[in-house]
Structure 1
Amino acid sequence: MRGKRSKQYRKLMQQYGLNFGFREPYQVLHILRDADRFKMDLVGGLERTLHGQVKPLITQCSMRHLYAAATEPGVSYLIDKAKTYERRRCGHHPDDHPTPLSTKDCLASVVDPKDSKSNKHRYVVASQEQEVRKHMRGILGVPLVYINRSVMIMEPMAGATSDNREREERVKFRAGLKRGSGSLKRKRETEDEGEVKDEKEGGNETEAIQPKKKSMKGPKGPNPLAVKKPKKKAPVEGDAARRTSNKTEAPTQESTEPGNAEPGAKRKRIRKHKSTTNGGDVDPVVAVAMEE
């Protein structure tokens, strides 16, 4: 099977699963003689086409058709093989129906027994007869498979089935919109009620949350690690001379006197030398202090 066709069949079965509840193993009502005529492995071909496990089914009427043709060559092998498949009771008992029903009538009674145009039990129909496939297209949700030149092909979704699927999708979409608008409306109503209560209680505590400002996109600044450090400016000649003069200027006598000292300035200590006892000369600083 080509990759493109295989992908289409996989998507088609996913749609049947989502909209009509198909799941593995898929129940396949098939015609065994058609597969034997094309020398095909029926179960393997169905699994590759449907992309999943398959449960082959055969109706009572189909078995009766095989028993009626038992004298033909190769039919005995088909009867033994059909006995290994699960038997689907169609309700057409030999006492009520001496001759087995046609494939179209039998499959129609199994797929849609109440004529409600719905595939309740999720059957997949594999048939070579065009009349059978034409009738099954009118029933919603019936995958159809047939064999063309030893290649198993699945028909695209029928018109009635695709219309029903689109209708259901539109209903779901509208329901979702209504549900969302209702919730928004209720949320706005509750917010309005809360604001009214706050105004009645004098609620100035709640402040409107300002939205965050979005950062403007543009050229970024330079990397601070890669930028050279700014050089210090050279001092002006006048400032340098003023600073040196202030440092070299000696303190005046007025500033050294205790009465003239500023309140924040530190008092200068006057050292007193000891007087000589042997009649030596007296220190002039000490003499001045004694005279005072």
Structure 2
Amino acid sequence: MPRAKRSKQYRKLMEQFSMGFGYRVPYQVLVDADFIAEANKCKMDLVRRLEDTLHGEVKPMITQCSMRHLYERKSEPGVEAAIEQAKTQFERRRCGHHPDEYPEPLSALECIQSVVDPKDNSLNKHRYVCAINDDAVRASIRQIAGTPLLFIRRSVMIMEPMATVSAKIRSKDEKSKFRAELKTVVGGKRKREDDSDDSDQDGNEKQGTGKSDEPEKLEEKKKSKKRKRGRKEPNPLAVKKKQPKPASDGQHSKAPEANEAGANEADAAETGQAEAPKRKRRRRRGRGANKAGGDATTEEATVTPNTANSTGEAPAVVSNTANAEE
């Protein structure tokens, strides 16, 4: 597995431990004698490598029994450097196994298990991260729920995946939280922000008036305050305006005439000029009447402008004259 992918996996694993079992930085890392001896053998910067693996600050710790194991292996190469590092950089964790009572140090399994799970209830109460290189000890500590485990193989620090016991407890807690949320939603205890604001306003009104509204009125208020959800209309500013349709030939020909007529009427109204008066009819006396001395009357038909012939000639004057008595 590539280094970047493995680092991402370790970060997610520590996030799961922090959410499920309450791990916080700085992480308390409990180291045994074999682990620190292997790290010095590989010339590994132990504290820095622990921080890179756990993705956070660490607080390395070592028990009194593990220190006594290191002193017993002092003759081995590289153990003296491990003893000096444990003295200077590691915090001493008192396990209660004093040399007066226990002339020989307890095994790593008994000592670390008594520190991690002092009450034997399979719970890591103080949230220790165990860095153990012995497979048998790691298999025993794996039964304690919520315990991250580290070990070194071929100068590479490896973090074990979450144990089955820890995964079951974590899934059980998540299901219980989910059921609690469902109960609150079904019971009606959980409300939206808008409902809570409305209830606060109603409560203030009730305190001022000293009377409580009827349930029917409350239901009507809730219905009226519900948001209408449906299809939204488009933005009127973004909609293109409709253009008028082009008129037909007949309408197009009549339109300018109507416009011209309206313009003429408007001009006439503005100038105050009326239409030209019609020509009056006039009576003319015939020549024969003058000769007769005026005994006979003459009648003459006036010429109207509409009596023009189709040839364009002026109409003839029709006259009825009474012949005078000779």
Cα distance between partner residues in 1 of 2:84 and 2:156: 25
Aligned to 2:297: none
Aligned to 2:173: 168
Matches within 5 A, 1:143-292: 143-183=148-188, 194=213, 196=215, 198=217, 208=224, 211=228, 213-215=230-232, 222-223=240-241, 233-236=255-258, 243=265, 248-249=274-275
Q: Identity of aligned pairs, percent?
A: 48
Cα deviation, residue 7, structure 1: 0.4
Which amino acid in structure 2 is aligned with residue 234 of structure 1? P
Which amino acid in structure 1 is aligned with residue 81 of structure 2? Y
Aligned to 2:113: 108
Matches within 5 A, 1:93-104: 93-104=98-109
Aligned to 1:26: 27
Cα distance between partner residues in 1 of 2:230 and 2:110: 72
Structure 1 SS opposite 2:256: coil
Structure 1 SS opposite 2:151: strand
Structure 2 SS opposite 1:29: strand
Cα distance between partner residues in 2 of 1:104 and 1:197: 70
Query: Aligned pairs, how many?
Result: 242
Cα deviation, residue 80, structure 1: 1.8
Aligned to 2:3: 2
Structure 2 SS opposite 1:83: helix
Unaligned runs of 5+ in 1: 253-292
Unaligned runs of 5+ in 2: 203-211, 279-326
Cα distance between partner residues in 1 of 2:168 and 2:117: 19
**Aligned pair 1:69/2:95, yes or no?**
no
The answer as to whether partners of 2:69 and 2:105 remain within 8 angstroms in 1 is yes
- Note closer, same or farther for the CA distance 1:38–1:179 as it changes in structure 2 (3 Å cut): same
Aligned to 2:209: none
The answer as to whether partners of 2:37 and 2:78 remain within 8 angstroms in 1 is no
The answer as to whether partners of 2:40 and 2:79 remain within 8 angstroms in 1 is no
Cα distance between partner residues in 1 of 2:181 and 2:102: 51
Structure 1 SS opposite 2:188: helix
Cα deviation, residue 164, structure 1: 0.5
- 2:139 counterpart (129, 134, 149): 134
TM-score of the superposition, structure 1-length normalised? 0.70
Cα deviation, residue 93, structure 1: 1.1
